[in-house]
Structure 1
Amino acid sequence: MICAEILEEVSEYTQAIRKSCEILERYGMVTGEYYRGIIDNIGEYGGYFYLGEGVCMPHAKPETGVLSTGLCIIKLNTPVDFEGKKVRIFFTLAARDEAAHFVLMKQIAEICSKKQSLKKMLECRSSEEMLMMMEEEQ
Structure 2
Amino acid sequence: MKFLEKNLVEFNVDVTSPDEAIRAAGKLLVGEGLVEEGYVDAMVQSYHENGPYFVLAPQIALPHARPEDGVIEASVSFLQLANPIVFGSASNDPVKLVFALGASSSNEHLEILQKLMTLLNNQENVQKLMDITSYTEMEQLLGGMES
TM-score of the two chains, using structure 1 as the length reference: 0.90
1:77 is displaced (CA, Å) by: 2.6
Quick one: which amino acid aligns to residue 89 of structure 1? Answer: L
5 Å-filtered alignment, 1:15-30, equals 15-30=20-35
**Alignment check: 8 A CA contact 2:12 2:133 kept:** no
1:53 is displaced (CA, Å) by: 1.8
The root-mean-square deviation of aligned C-alpha atoms, in Å, is: 1.6
- May I ask how many residue pairs the two structures share in their alignment? 138
Quick one: which of 64, 77, 80 aligns to 1:75? 80
**Alignment check: 8 A CA contact 1:9 1:79 kept:** no
SS in 1 for 2:40: helix
1:59-106 deviations in whole A, cap 9, x for unaligned? 011110111111100001311111152000001110222422211111
Tell me, yes or no, if structure 1 residue 90 matches structure 2 residue 98: yes
Partner Cα distance (1:27, 1:8) in 2: 18
5 Å-filtered alignment, 1:4-43, equals 4-43=9-48
Tell me, yes or no, if structure 1 residue 66 matches structure 2 residue 71: yes
SS in 1 for 2:94: strand
Alignment-derived partner of residue 107 in structure 1 = 115
Comparing 128-137 and 16-25, the one that deviates more? 128-137
Alignment-derived partner of residue 117 in structure 1 = 125
Alignment-derived partner of residue 57 in structure 2 = 52
Comparing 29-38 and 105-114, the one that deviates more? 105-114
1:22 is displaced (CA, Å) by: 1.1
Identity of aligned residues (%): 24
SS in 1 for 2:73: coil
**Alignment check: 8 A CA contact 2:22 2:40 kept:** yes
Quick one: which amino acid aligns to residue 115 of structure 1? Answer: Q
| Long gaps (5+) in structure 2 | none
TM-score of the two chains, using structure 2 as the length reference: 0.85
Partner Cα distance (1:34, 1:74) in 2: 17
